[in-house]
Amino acid sequence: MKNSVQPIEFRRQIGIVERLKLNQLPGWVHGVGMGGTGIVFIFSLILFFIFKDDPIWADWVPADEFTSPEYEERIYPDSIFRTRMNTWSNLVYICFGFYAIALAIYDWKRKLPLERGYLSNAPAIGFLFGLAGIYLGLGSGFFHASLTRYGQQCDVSAMYAMMICMAAIAIGSWLPRIQLPRNSKIYPSWPVIAVLVVYSSVYFSYYKWEYSFSVISNYLMGTLFLFAGVSLIQPGKYLQFRWFIAGVVSILLGSKVRDLDIASRFTGPDSLFQGHAVWHLLSCLLFVFLYLYFRSEERATENATQRENS
């Protein structure tokens, strides 16, 4: 695929902006990423030690996972964290979310052009992706800590938000600008996409029980992979395809581990390495790798693209 293997020298000759190196980020970006995660961790740790043996969820409507456990980890009914590792492992989503927010602020301050890539040029979308990551970490953590029906609603609605954001980034990369009918002026597409992301996330959060999660998630994942693939073959556009492959491998591996956990074939109920906790890590890597995939995007200038195609 020529869009992912062009030599650096050739890409510079046709006017592509050199890619931002993540290992050259300013310290405050890491401060937001690790500091925000640390605050959530410390707050959760305090709650855990205060209410470790208190049945604070006793009056809440239980989820099916509490009455008919699907995962292998031991359940502590009279504790604020009814499952331990499946709760703590959600910190990985929160860490990703804070880093995505910090990078969005960094991109906004630098005002990068579209040639640097859609995700860097539209930091509002990256900011929403980061918020969705934090939402997923808190929502899934709430569910695995409480094993309540309301916690399950927060968990699933947060997963919707993450998948909607991923699909939105793929669509925006394919169509970064729009032209309204009977209007010659060209507008950035990100404000429209951002509004749709927020609206659809709120909608599915409220009407979670009205839809089949598997059906909606399949549609969203299909949209993501379709437009991610289309973006890869657009003329004058370059992405590091290895990140996309890494994301696919991580989610396939995570699904296998989750299935082994459901079948009670991964580890014991008191192990530190719970199958669903490992699923959290590997599914988070899907978001990380797809973020890096779209952030690796570089575009030739319009004149350079014309020269390349001539």
pLDDT in tens, the chain (310 residues): 444 444 444 454 444 444 555 667 899 999 999 999 999 999 999 999 999 999 999 999 999 999 999 999 999 999 999 999 999 999 999 999 999 999 999 999 999 899 988 999 999 999 999 999 999 999 999 999 999 999 999 999 999 999 999 999 999 999 899 877 777 788 899 999 999 999 999 998 888 888 887 888 888 888 888 888 787 788 888 888 899 999 999 999 999 999 999 999 999 999 989 999 999 999 999 999 999 999 999 988 654 444 444 4
Q: Is 265 exposed, middle or buried (0-12, 13-18, 19+ CB in 10 A)?
A: exposed
CA distance 296 to 294: 5
Which positions ≥6 away from 280 have C-beta within 8 Å?
86, 89, 90, 92, 93, 140
pTM of the entire structure?
0.88
- CB 10, CB 238: distance < 8 Å: no
- What's the CA angle centered on 142, arms 139 and 147, to 5 degrees? 120
CA distance 123 to 117: 11
- CB 155, CB 162: distance < 8 Å: no
Give the pLDDT of residue 23: 64
Give the pLDDT of residue 180: 74
- What's the CA angle centered on 209, arms 208 and 215, to 5 degrees? 75
CA distance 225 to 3: 17
| Identity of residue 237 | K
Give the pLDDT of residue 302: 55
> Domain 22-303: which CATH class?
mainly alpha
